Structure 1
């Protein structure tokens, strides 16, 4: 009996291993292709939306009222969380750079390091992530609800383009709000880093401002604005694509919202790395 039981156990183990292996191979075979298909659809939607945006502005058919309504909603939804997150992140960067500068005997450079980190990295990235969490989820839920109620199909039947009527004004609003919030985050982050360095870490105001002005350039602010515009477009396009492709009732809306937030943040991280490396290669940092 023990021999037959051992044989049966071995067969079960081999069957389980075979099943797991086949599932892993199927997963790896399906999901990269599905991810490429999804990203490709989002890129196509973004290109068409930008083309329609330019054409509608030139021809005077751009829905400014819907654009203003969406921009007001996005700003109202995200400006408080964005500024609230920018403050502790700026203070944390000031603490870390202050400790590091003290260890290497270069405390005078703490202002330049923390200020550059806020403007070039923290401000646009924090703004984009808060937009993805607050605004992107709301856009996806709105469009997803319309999709399961078949409003999108009804618009197409009536000859109304959902892309031009729903996506284009949201794209323009997302880019504008992202740039505005990034500028506000830069100011709040720099101010928080300055106050924390001067009044908590006993730094000197003149040293902080001097080192910051020596390293920071107008190009850094331009980089932050360009990144924020691209990040705002990514968040809006991903949320719209996930919302318009929603299926499966209310549960499908919840799944689309979750997928939109996760996909947006992943794309933001990848694009941010590309922007940072490209800017570093094209505009190398000068010394004091």
Structure 2
């Protein structure tokens, strides 16, 4: 037993008290943050629709943000999609060969790229590159009190800053997901045919037999949701930055971590819902 005046006793007590306080307050703060993000997302989507129909949409800001997002995320997305697609082709080719179904490697790798790899790789790269950039930009404006000045002048921050970024994030996510599907499928095809000694006809035939338009629709729906999640999380974290330049760094780190977790959870939910609602009757 430790004595009451032992310094180790006070250290243990402090650690225990901090742990209890953290466990007690962290779930509350997490739910508050999630609530702010849901509210901001709902208002931003409503304002986006209203601005488009009322011809008040800030088109120039939207174009600038979309061009910036493409510039910072296009090359990293392709650089990540290529090796992942090649890895999937290797694994599915080996597995298909072990069970005597080498001709099905094309269908397996192609479906994996369209259903999972393309939208998820795009979303992860958007969270890492685009989300961090959006958060740092809005966080810097917040600590310089530019956001407060806009509110004082009667300029809506949601209309001016969040809505064009949300629209740009969704559009860029759609475009990059489609491009990732093409790049990933092409990489898997080339690797299977020229490295694993597969045949061109069996690859294309099995893929066209098992792939459906619903797989591409699922990827596009995922892209829209993932793009909205990344943009909303980044905007919420940036607009609620506190603590000076160090707070901006903390907000950027929190943006990337929170976006990754939400993306993975939502991806699992989408996959399970699609499997239940549209089951495969045959292989």
Scaled to the shorter chain, the TM-score interval is: over 0.9
Q: CA deviation at 1:22?
A: 2.7
Matched, 1:151 2:142: no
Pick aligned residue for 1:242 from 237, 247, 250: 237
Corresponding residue of 2:21: 26
Matched-pair contact (CA < 8 Å) for 1:111–1:194 = yes
Residue aligning to 1:36: 31
Superposed counterparts of 1:80-229, under 5 Å: 80-229=75-224
| Residues 169-222 of structure 1, C-alpha deviations (whole Å, 9 max, x = no match) | 000000000000000000000000000000000011111111111111000000
Map 1:257-268; keep pairs closer than 5 Å.
Answer: 257-268=252-263
Q: CA deviation at 1:287?
A: 1.4
For these two proteins, the number of residue pairs brought into alignment is: 283
Show the counterpart of 2:72: 77
Return the alpha-carbon distance in structure 1 between the equivalents of residues 77 and 113 of structure 2: 13
Does the Cα contact within 8 Å between 1:215 and 1:286 map onto a contact in 2? Answer: no
8 A Cα contact 1:175 1:232, kept in partner = yes
Give, in whole Å, the separation in 1 of the partners of 2:119 and 2:13.
47
Q: Quote the residue 2:281 is aligned against.
A: 286
Between the aligned partners of 1:139 and 1:16, the Cα distance in structure 2 is 40
Q: CA deviation at 1:10?
A: 10
Preserved contact between residue 2 and residue 9 of structure 2 (Cα < 8 Å): no
1:66 is displaced (CA, Å) by 0.7
RMSD of the alignment, in Å? 1.5
Aligned mates of 1:107, 1:265 — CA distance in 2: 34
**Residue 57 (structure 2) aligned to one of 62, 65, 70:** 62
> Alignment partner of 1:284: what SS?
coil
- Following superposition, the deviation at residue 14 of structure 1 comes to 5.7
Q: TM-score, normalised by structure 2?
A: 0.97
Residue by residue over 1:240-284, the C-alpha shift from the partner in whole angstroms, topping out at 9 and shown as x without a partner, is: 000000111111111111111111111000000000000000001
Shift of 1:7: 5.7
* In 1: Cα distance, 2:48 partner to 2:5 partner: 63
- How far residue 53 of structure 1 moved from its aligned partner, in angstroms, is 0.2
d(CA) in 1 for partners of 2:75 and 2:69? 11
- 1:45 CA displacement: 0.3
- The equivalent of 1:3 in structure 2 is none
Determine the C-alpha separation between the residues in 2 that align with 1:104 and 1:148: 60
* Among 42, 48, 54, the residue aligned to 1:47: 42
Largest Rg, 1 or 2: 1
1:126-161 CA distances to partner (integer Å, 9 max, x unpaired)? 000001111111100110010011000000000000
How many angstroms does 1:105 deviate by? 1.2
Output the CA distance in 2 between the equivalents of 1:97 and 1:286. 21
Give TM-score scaled by structure 1 length. 0.95
